[in-house]
């Protein structure tokens, strides 16, 4: 083996050589650190669909920066970065100024430390500046990148197009979705300066791309945006909820507010298709939100007309109006004192009062009168002792409180109305007259809410079909409200136009005692 001898000079050289190498490493690391501090770097990341132009060319290069031509579009995705005016880093503007805008870019500059910057070009072909690619989402499409995020908006423009793609092929017209609330799943900040939403229906069907200028965003999900309106509505349907807010906190039911009129200045078109009205009282106080299916719309503050049949007479404290702008009618109390008048409909005005639409006994319209200025008309008794003025049976009528689920059974063959217990036992029998021919329809029906003291043809009526069309009522009356003896004597035979005629006490008993919903079986 060959021995190698190390002299003192050799050992000293080795020692200094190691020190020189260590110092060189320190200088290299320090230089890299200083370079990274002198060139901006950002930690923000963004989607890059990788579809920029494949035609590239190195246009300049020095020891610090190389610049390459790369054509594409970039959406600014950071609001906390800087856009530099040049690659000397002399001046900048905050990226928040251009946040979520899409620009064409024509260069990518690569720094020695590995950072890359795109040069953004405005629509007028002016250089905006250089932005770190990590603060952008890049694509080859002028529409920009898709920004995912769920939101909701109501279509508030009924003219314009919905597009199936960004080559501007028309998918449908905006009018098809006017005032519908749709779901936004993606947003595109197009390089043309417009914003487009990718929108879906409540059931998940894709609608297309809609310009954001055509919709109004909702802060309450599928409830939709508030749409201005001006209408007066009257609650006419029981059993629905009234909500305190659009988070669906229930405050009342329509049953407790039946026939109340409200002012509506905002409505919401839910994505499901339902429309909700914001209800305000006469003082402008919001009283809740209700489905439009619960109301009828009126032509003014009087609200919707409610069908009603009643005989009244006027008191001396009333005014008769020819309209709800409060113009007085030609005839007033002095002309109609003591007369029997007919009410065919009434209104629950926003001001809280009830107004009757009043007619003469012969059917001529007079005007509108506050219900507080009227009283019930009571016809004088006639023909006492006649059988149609007596109960059908010489025994008390049944107490329906003792017979839950009792019902009426009407035999057209026998011309009798039977009050039966739930088990079929007959509790009381009334003589009657049903309709000639087949004018009285067979089937199962129910006692309805409509009932009244009188109408033009008879007294004490109670509806069992079509809300005032088919009735139980007394034998018919003459023009002077006396009972028609010839017609009354036909009890026990078919004689009516479809209603069921009864002796007067029987009709009164049904009017006063038959509850809404009590079943009526006609056969």
What is the domain-level CATH number for residue 185? 2.30.30.170
CA distances from 10 to 1, 2, 6, 23, 292 (A): 21, 18, 6, 20, 101
Residues 113 and 169 in one domain: no
Residues 419 and 466 in one domain: yes
Can you give the pTM of this predicted structure?
0.60
Query: Where residue 506 sits, what CATH number does that domain have?
Result: 2.40.440.10
- The per-residue pLDDT of the chain, averaged, comes to 88
Beta partners for 420?
Answer: 407, 426
Residues 86 and 153 in one domain: no
Residues 517 and 391 in one domain: yes
34 domain residue, yes or no? no
pLDDT in tens, 442-481: 999 999 999 999 999 999 999 999 999 999 999 999 999 9
pLDDT value of position 337: 79
pLDDT for 494 beyond 60:
yes
pLDDT in tens, 242-259: 999 999 999 999 999 999
pLDDT for 210 beyond 70:
yes
Residues 126 and 164 in one domain: no
The whole-number average pLDDT for the span 320-338 is 89
Residues 397 and 315 in one domain: no
User: For residue 39, what are its two tokens?
Assistant: 């060139």
Full residue range of the structural domain in which residue 79 is found: 57-139
Identify the domain boundary among 280, 298, 316: 298
The whole-number average pLDDT for the span 325-348 is 90
User: For residue 81, what are its two tokens?
Assistant: 């970065």
What percent of the chain has a predicted confidence (pLDDT) above 70?
86
439 domain residue, yes or no? yes
pLDDT value of position 317: 73
d(CA 410, CA 499): 12
pLDDT value of position 91: 95
Q: What values do phi and psi take at 507, rounded to 5?
A: -65, -40
The whole-number average pLDDT for the span 25-30 is 35
114 domain residue, yes or no? yes
Residues 397 and 368 in one domain: no
What percent of the chain has a predicted confidence (pLDDT) above 90?
80
pLDDT for 41 beyond 50:
no
512 domain residue, yes or no? yes
Query: Where residue 85 sits, what CATH number does that domain have?
Result: 2.30.30
pLDDT for 2 beyond 90:
no
46 domain residue, yes or no? no
Residues 186 and 115 in one domain: no
Question: 């932005």: which residue's tokens?
Answer: 131
Residues 311 and 292 in one domain: no
35 domain residue, yes or no? no
Q: What values do phi and psi take at 20, rounded to 5?
A: -65, -40
Residues 217 and 238 in one domain: no
17 domain residue, yes or no? no
pLDDT for 150 beyond 70:
yes
List the single range of 34-43, 305-314, 338-347, 426-435 with lowest mean pLDDT. 34-43
273 in Cβ contact with 282 (< 8 Å): no
pLDDT for 178 beyond 70:
yes
Residue in 428, 440, 427 with CA at minimum distance from that of residue 473? 440
363 domain residue, yes or no? yes
pLDDT value of position 60: 52
384 in Cβ contact with 498 (< 8 Å): no
Active site residues: 473, 499
Residues 482 and 429 in one domain: yes
pLDDT value of position 104: 97
List the single range of 23-27, 69-73, 147-151, 486-490 with lowest mean pLDDT. 23-27
Residues 212 and 166 in one domain: yes
Q: How many domains does the chain have?
A: 5
Identify the domain boundary among 347, 376, 405: 376
Specify the higher pLDDT residue, 16 or 346: 346
Instruction: Please report which residue ranges of 264-376 form alpha helices under DSSP H.
Output: 333-336
pLDDT value of position 407: 98
d(CA 368, CA 458): 24
Beta partners for 477?
Answer: 483
Identify the domain boundary among 223, 238, 260: 223
């Amino acid at each position: 083996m060959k021995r190698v001898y190390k002299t003192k000079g050799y050992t000293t050289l080795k020692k200094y050589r190691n020190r020189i190498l260590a110092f060189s490493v320190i200088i290299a690391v320090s230089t890299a650190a200083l370079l990274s501090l002198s060139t901006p770097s950002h930690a923000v990341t963004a989607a890059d669909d990788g579809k920029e132009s494949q035609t590239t060319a190195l246009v300049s290069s020095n020891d610090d920066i190389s610049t390459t031509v790369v054509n594409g579009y970039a959406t600014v995705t950071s609001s906390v970065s800087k856009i530099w005016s040049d690659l000397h880093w002399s001046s900048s503007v905050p990226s928040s100024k251009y946040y979520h805008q899409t620009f064409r870019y024509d260069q990518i500059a690569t720094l020695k430390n590995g950072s890359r910057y795109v040069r953004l070009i405005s629509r007028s072909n002016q250089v905006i500046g250089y932005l770190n690619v990590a603060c952008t989402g890049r694509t080859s499409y002028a529409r920009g990148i898709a920004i995912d995020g769920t939101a909701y908006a109501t279509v508030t423009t009924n003219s314009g197009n919905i597009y199936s793609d960004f080559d501007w092929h028309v998918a449908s017209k905006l009018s098809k979705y006017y005032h519908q609330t749709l779901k936004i799943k993606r947003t595109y900040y197009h390089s043309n300066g417009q914003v487009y939403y990718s929108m879906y229906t409540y059931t998940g069907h894709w609608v297309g791309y809609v310009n954001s200028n055509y919709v109004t965003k909702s802060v309450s999900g599928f409830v939709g945006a508030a749409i201005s309106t001006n209408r007066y509505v009257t609650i006419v349907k029981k059993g629905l909820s009234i909500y305190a807010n659009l988070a669906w906190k229930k405050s009342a039911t329509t049953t407790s507010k039946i026939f109340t009129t409200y002012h509506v200045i905002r409505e919401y078109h839910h994505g499901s298709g339902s429309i909700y009205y914001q209800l305000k009282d006469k003082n402008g106080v919001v009283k809740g939100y209700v489905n439009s299916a619960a109301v009828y719309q009126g032509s003014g503050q009087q609200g919707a007309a409610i069908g009603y049949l009643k005989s009244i007479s006027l008191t001396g404290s009333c005014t008769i109006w020819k309209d709800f702008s409060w113009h007085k009618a030609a005839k007033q109390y002095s002309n109609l004192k003591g007369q029997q008048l007919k009410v065919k409909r009434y209104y629950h005005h926003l001001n809280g009062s009830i107004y009757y639409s009043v007619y003469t006994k012969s059917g001529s319209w007079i005007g509108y009168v506050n219900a507080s200025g009227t009283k019930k008309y009571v016809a004088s008794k006639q023909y006492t002792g006649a059988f149609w003025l007596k109960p059908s049976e010489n025994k008390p009528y049944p107490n329906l409180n003792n017979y839950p689920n009792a019902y009426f059974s009407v035999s057209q063959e026998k011309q009798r109305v039977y009050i039966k217990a739930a088990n079929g036992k007959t509790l009381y029998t009334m003589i009657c007259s049903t309709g000639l021919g087949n004018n009285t329809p067979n089937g199962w029906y129910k006692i309805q809410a409509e009932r009244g003291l009188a109408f033009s043809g008879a007294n004490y009526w109670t509806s069992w079909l079509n809300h005032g069309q088919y009735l139980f009522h007394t034998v018919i009356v003459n023009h002077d409200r006396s009972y028609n003896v010839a017609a009354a004597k036909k009890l026990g035979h078919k004689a009516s136009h479809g209603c069921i005629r009864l002796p007067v006490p029987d009709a009164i008993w049904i009017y006063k005692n038959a509850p809404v919903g009590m079943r009526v079986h006609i056969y």
